[in-house]
Amino acid sequence: MSALTVVQVGYGVTTQDLGRPGLSDMGLGAAGPADRGSAALANRMVGNRPHAAVLEALLGSVALRTDAHVVAAVTGAPCPVSIERADGRVRGAAAYEVLLLEPGDTLRVGLPKDRLRAYVAVRGGIAVEPVLGSRSWDSLAQLGPAPLSAGDVLPVGPAVRGATATTDGRATAGDGLGVGPWPVVDAVPPPLLPRPGDPVVLDVVPGPRDDWFTPDWRATLTGQDFHVTPDSDRVGVRTTADASLVRAVTRELPSEGVETGSLQVPPAGFPVLFLADHPVTGGYPVVAVLTPESVDRAAQLRPGDTLRFRIAR
């Protein structure tokens, strides 16, 4: 089995797969990638099945040395990417490209200018030992394979044949026995980002507790800029703004189940946007829920970023 050695870790790197849904009766959330779309894209680019584990790197800043031929891809935050040969020579590479690594190569992912989380996939997936059926690190429950440290050795799983490509680049179906020698694509377009200074727009669906707020809650939520506070993490994006949401119902709300993307409103009146490691229950009312695409956008917000909410049609 091939392996990757962690040469450098910057702001924090964890292993994430599709998570461990269905364990809320044990008080455990699903975890998984904060930006599921970017993680899924990385897996598709290298020919993995959806459940393969990837690396989630906060602000990029990770370096991995391979001992075998490896197919890799980096998505999410648009990080600078390079491949360093064993003799020290460096060849160009980029995020959102399929990368072909040779034994002794070091894949270096640098600090992005914007967005927060990068995803590194390798063909075969990161094959660390699962915990309760998942290779996801849950920062709230402190459960799963531990965050990476320099010197860690990460096994790479056996590749599973999906689609391969012919020598002229045309995609063809695999036979289910292994992996083809060519990726289906060599690059994909990076996502469109807001212009510098423009707020990130997040779509929400009202409820389930929007009736716990005064009738002007929609205008308050959608009519002003919100800003991401420094205490945001994989549990949730915490926000502040000029005007807070005002409760119409002031009695205590019994704890109830909450979903990823919920906008829970604590007493200060500024929403907390629940991400992958959110608690399974909450005692503050949820005024609205992000659409799945907006959850991914929220997962890429940095402290200080500006966002606006929009009611989904």
Give me the CATH number covering residue 250.
2.40.100.10
Residue 217 lies in a domain: yes
State whether 206 and 164 are in the same domain. no
The Cα–Cα gap between 208 and 44 comes to 34
State whether 161 and 210 are in the same domain. no
Tell me what pLDDT residue 136 has: 98
Q: Which of 13, 169, 4 is nearest to 76 (CA)?
A: 13
CA dihedral over 63, 64, 70, 76, signed as positive or negative: negative
Tell me what pLDDT residue 175 has: 35
Tell me what pLDDT residue 196 has: 77
The Cα–Cα gap between 17 and 160 comes to 16
State whether 301 and 218 are in the same domain. yes
Q: Which two tokens stand for residue 20?
A: 């461990």
Residue 257 lies in a domain: yes
State whether 101 and 225 are in the same domain. no
State whether 14 and 104 are in the same domain. yes
**Residue burial 257-275, b: 16+ Cβ < 10 Å; e: rest:** ebebbbbbbeeebbbbbbb
- Radius of gyration for the alpha carbons in the chain, expressed in angstroms and rounded: 21
The Cα–Cα gap between 137 and 144 comes to 4
Residue 246 lies in a domain: yes
Domain that holds residue 152: 3-173
State whether 243 and 128 are in the same domain. no
State whether 10 and 116 are in the same domain. yes
Tell me what pLDDT residue 295 has: 98
Residue 149 lies in a domain: yes
Tell me what pLDDT residue 92 has: 84
The Cα–Cα gap between 122 and 102 comes to 13
Please report where in the chains the tokens 């409103």 appear, as a residue: 265
Residue 184 lies in a domain: no
Tell me what pLDDT residue 185 has: 76
3-class state of residue 156 by DSSP = strand
State whether 62 and 167 are in the same domain. yes
The Cα–Cα gap between 203 and 261 comes to 10
Residue 179 lies in a domain: no
Residue 151 lies in a domain: yes
Cβ-based neighbours of 171, under 8 Å, separated by 6 or more = 163, 164, 165, 184
Residue 192 lies in a domain: no
Q: What is the dihedral of CA 218, 276, 259, 24, to 10 degrees?
A: -160
State whether 142 and 263 are in the same domain. no
Tell me what pLDDT residue 184 has: 62
Tell me what pLDDT residue 182 has: 52
**Tens digit of each residue's pLDDT, the chain (313 residues):** 799 999 999 999 999 999 999 999 999 999 999 999 999 999 999 999 999 999 999 999 999 999 999 999 999 999 999 999 999 999 889 999 999 999 999 999 999 999 999 999 999 999 999 999 999 999 999 999 999 999 999 999 998 665 443 333 333 333 332 344 455 678 898 888 888 789 999 999 999 999 999 999 999 999 999 999 999 999 999 999 999 999 999 999 999 999 999 999 999 999 999 999 999 999 999 999 999 999 999 999 999 999 999 999 7
State whether 167 and 205 are in the same domain. no
Specify the number of domains making up the chain.
2
State whether 167 and 210 are in the same domain. no
Tell me what pLDDT residue 161 has: 62
State whether 82 and 231 are in the same domain. no
